[in-house]
Amino acid sequence: MRDLGAGFRYLLQGQRWMARNSRQYGFGLLPGLITLVLYAAALVGLAVWGDDLVTWSTPFADGWSGPWRGLFRGFLTAVLFALGLLLAVLTFTAVTLLIGQPFYENLSEKVDRDASPDGTAPESDLPLWRELWVSARDSLRILVRAGLWGVLLFALGFLPFVGQTVVPVVGFFVTGFFLTEELTAVALQRRGVHLRERLALLRSRKPLVWGFGTPLGLAFLVPLVAVFLMPGAVAGATLMARGLMGEETAGDGDGDGGGDGDRGAVTLPPPPPGSPAPGR
């Protein structure tokens, strides 16, 4: 429970940091707005032409008589749209971070400097094009994992009772984990922590990850909320990354330059035995 609460406090601290550094906020909205427009266009296209796509892909049903052909294809069209919507929720963060990589990298560095006792931030040794390539490659790997989970959970959703009760809850926790991975990747990648190490680190602190990512995933279900919360989510994930790496934090990073003592700082519970040690 302490880890769950700590994760949620990181989420709140990130939003508070963003509110107190409003000059950064406007630019942070642009990547989310661009992604929202792209996803909305894709979902509208799926709604308009989804029936044609299903008809084209099921020629074996052309000879079916009665209402069965229409019912079958209508069901597949609904399934196709629901799957597209689920994948949109799972992948929105990854695509937004990829589009806004330069801004979010800069934002994460500012949060690091604000939270660091000496006002410094870890810097990547890679050129920008290399950072973009690594980010795109890792995002693709995460999207594949998230897509597989999405297909599995969608299929399990047809199970009686379990599909309507247990599966949605599991789906929110899975979404929360992948959201947190993508958001903390901005700060952890800058520290030289590779994808496999990031996943191992986050898996060792699942309650902390769920406390941060699951409420955020629920909020992202509300139209436009993801766009407005994304900059603060990156800020909160940077603060979480500092805690996961065992770095000293001067405060909660909610000032406008410089720390403010230990007021409001999140103290992480000790990691469970056998978890990966923080470090490069």
118 or 257: which leads in pLDDT: 118
Contacts of 24 (CB under 8 A, 6+ apart): 18, 107, 110, 231
Are the C-beta atoms of 10 and 237 separated by less than 8 Å? yes
Contacts of 76 (CB under 8 A, 6+ apart): 54, 58
The stretch 132-154 carries a mean pLDDT of: 80
Residue 274 has, within 13 A of its CA and on its CB side, a CA count of 1
| Predicted confidence (pLDDT) per residue in 216-258, tens digit | 988 887 767 888 898 999 999 999 999 999 887 775 444 444 4
| Predicted confidence (pLDDT) per residue in 180-214, tens digit | 998 999 899 888 888 899 999 999 999 999 999 99
Q: Which of 116, 101, 103 is nearest to 182 (CA)?
A: 101
pLDDT at residue 21 greater than cutoff 90: no
Are the C-beta atoms of 220 and 89 separated by less than 8 Å? yes
Predicted pLDDT of residue 251: 57
Average pLDDT, the chain: 81
pLDDT at residue 93 greater than cutoff 60: yes
225 or 273: which leads in pLDDT: 225
Lowest mean pLDDT among 76-85, 140-149, 265-274: 265-274
